[in-house]
Structure 1
Amino acid sequence: MSSQQPVAGLDAPERVAHRRRYLMCRPEHFTVRYSINPWMEPARPTDTAKAVAQWQELYDTYLRLGHTVELIDPVPRLPDMVYTANGGFVIDGVALGVRFRVDERRGEEQPFMEWFADHGFDVVRPTAVQEGEGDFLLVGDAILAGTGFRSSTGGHEEVAAVFGRDVISLTLVDPRFYHLDTAIAVLDPVQGVGGVDAANIAYLPAAFDEASQRVLAERFPNAIRVSDADGAVFGLNAASDGRHVFISPRATDFAEQLRARGYVPVPIDLSELLLGGGGIKCCTLELRDRPEGIR
């Protein structure tokens, strides 16, 4: 056993849960009618009622653990709106909208920006192609940004300009992991605490090119490196409040790695929504409000 994988219960720090505010969308219109990623097979039947029931478990679990969940109304003929992480990127009350690469999702852009505006966020309409928190992850005070399949490097430049943050670009190379949030999980989601190097992440090395693997190894030497098997069941498409990590029940080795670090895995089965190429994090957009006293 490597030094990066401590024995569960020994020297594991006490993790603290932080209340989060999330945006979700009930999958009332979920189905797979087209294919825009390797997970989507239109010939394979989908069960909308099952998708709703699984989604409801995630929603109820967030509430039970003290988190706030806002809802955006689902729109007919936009089955992927359930994947709210792709709807924008929000820091300090500023919401950067999205510009999807694929035509099938372009209809989601305006409803999300309208929701942000109606709920008091300062909305920035994007000019470059990028797909929100699917490819942008806030880690400490920096932003990890994915490219290779969906978001453009121009989108990385735009997110840096909008939020004035250091942006670390990473290139994805496996089409199964077409968004960054399928290959990296942020385990300590509180910004401004210790900077990027103090934040814990988990990631799937094989999802990235060699240059990006070197960057991740240098910036996050204590990161959890997840197996290909757990990556393949969307184990890294996870959400965390700093203590509870909401993950696929099939990512069993990852769950043990989390326990060894003092986290509490919370298994949630979203297998039906995985048929559309999304999991727990895809269904969870974090709403980061302005710090108290700033308007």
Structure 2
Amino acid sequence: MPESAPGPAWRVSSETAPLREVLLCPPDHYRWIPTNSIVRRTLAEGRQAPATHHLQAQHAELVHAIRQGGAAWGIEVRLIAPEPHLPYMAYTRDSAVVTHEGPVLCQLERPQRRGEYAPLTDWHAAHGSAFWRKSSAGTLEGGDIHIIRPGLAAIGASGGRTDEAGAEQLAGWLREEGWEIRVEPFDEHFLHLDVLFCMAADGLAVACEDALDPAFLDWLRGKGIRWIDVPYRAAMNLGCNILALGNGRVVSARESTELNAALRAEGLEVLDPALSLFTAGGGGPHCLTCPLRRDD
């Protein structure tokens, strides 16, 4: 028998290296569901549910921004087909995370999202992609996993979406590979760590000093990482939730005007699609994207 073709070389060893391939999910069935403090606030304000065509238009802006930002080196946007009964599939960050050794299948906490593993595993199988590891202890969600640079990562453990058992299982796998991992506790009110912290460029993050433990900030400082402070109110509007494209470019929601100005002042090129309908549901550019491959 002829040998089967090798699977895709999907590897990510840094949040800030040039992005080559990324997975998104069209929001054809997306709707606000009260699974986190952000969307509960949105619903309590009596906001009208967004129309599908408005969601699709904002999502198309995001896709365009990613392609535009990476046009110089070529970014491939891959899509997974949405399932009608899984409205939050649009937040592709959470179901799996790609590491330096390949994809890790996460274990989602909310009942409304647990079924996302099925279309995701089918999608990876259809593309010849094998999971390096599969989460089996506690809960683990991709929004809590931050691959800061090769050999260094932080994993949030709120006890809600990602608990200590899930975080420590992934941390153990990475430590066996020689990585330094910090498991960072925080209040589950903030949903995922990427509501409070994201990398913007090599050595530069965005972070909510109002909510993060000073010990975590000291740890970042000790690793040579500085940050742009994002106030609490802006963070709860998903201001910290950005996507680094690499090569000095970053995707940040248009509504984050003050942060975007600060990022530009750092010399970064900011691609700023309108994403208010998604941030109101609890996710921004980081949540809506799952990087599959970045440069080493």
Shared fold, TM over 0.5: yes
Which residue is equivalent to 1:209? 213
1:144 matched to 2:149? no
Q: Are 1:201 and 1:220, in contact at CA under 8 Å, matched by a contact in 2?
A: no
Q: Deviation of residue 37 (structure 1)?
A: 0.3
Asked if the contact 1:97/1:132 (under 8 Å) is kept, the reply is: no
Deviation at 1:125, TM superposition (A): 2.2
Q: Does the CA-based 8 Å contact 2:200-2:250 persist in structure 1?
A: yes
1:216 shift after superposition: 3.2
**Matched position secondary structure for 2:156:** strand
The yes-or-no answer on 1:134 pairing with 2:143 is yes
* TM-score, with length taken from structure 1: 0.82
| Secondary structure at 2:58 match in 1 | helix
Query: In 2, distance between residues paired with 1:174 and 1:105?
Result: 17
Residue 170 of structure 1, CA deviation: 1.5
Match of 1:261 in 2: 266
Q: Aligned AA for 2:198?
A: A
Which consecutive unaligned segments of at least 5 residues does structure 2 have? Answer: 1-15
Equivalent residues of 1:183, 1:204 under 8 A apart: yes
Aligned equivalents of 2:104 and 2:225: distance in 1?
Answer: 30
3-state SS of the aligned residue for 2:282?
coil
CA contact (8 A) 1:74 1:82 kept: yes
Q: Does structure 1 conserve the Cα–Cα contact (< 8 Å) formed by 2:19 and 2:295?
A: no
Q: Within 1, Cα distance between the matches of 2:188 and 2:220? A: 17
Aligned residues: 265
Q: Which residue of 2 aligns with 1:22?
A: 22
Is 2:287 the partner of 1:278? no
How far apart in 2 are the matches of 1:257 and 1:59?
23
Residue 233 in structure 1 maps to residue 237 in structure 2: yes
Q: Which runs of 5+ in 1 are unaligned?
A: 1-15, 189-197
Alpha-carbon distance between aligned partners in 2 of 1:290 and 1:257, rounded to the nearest angstrom: 26
Decide whether the 8 Å contact of 2:140 with 2:163 is kept in 1.
no
- Deviation per CA, 1:211-237: give whole Å up to 9, x if none: 334333433452222223432321111
Q: Is the 8 A contact 2:90 2:288 kept in 1?
A: yes
TM (normalized to structure 2)?
0.81
Q: Residue 113 of structure 1: which of 118, 121, 137 is its match?
A: 121
Q: Does 1:50 align with 2:64?
A: no
Which sits farther off after the overlay, 111-120 or 255-264? Answer: 111-120
SS at match of 2:172: helix
**Deviation for aligned residue 1:277:** 0.9
Report the counterpart of residue 183 of structure 1 in structure 2: 196
Structure number with the higher strand fraction is 2
What is the letter of the counterpart of residue 293 of structure 2? R
Q: Which residue of 2 aligns with 1:167?
A: 181
Q: Give the Cα–Cα distance (whole angstroms) in 1 for the partners of residues 171 and 157 of structure 2.
A: 14
Q: Give the Cα separation in 2 of the matches to 1:276 and 1:159.
A: 27
Counterpart residue type for residue 182 of structure 2: I
Percent identity, please: 26
Q: Give the conservation status (yes or no) of the 8 Å contact 2:21–2:291.
A: yes
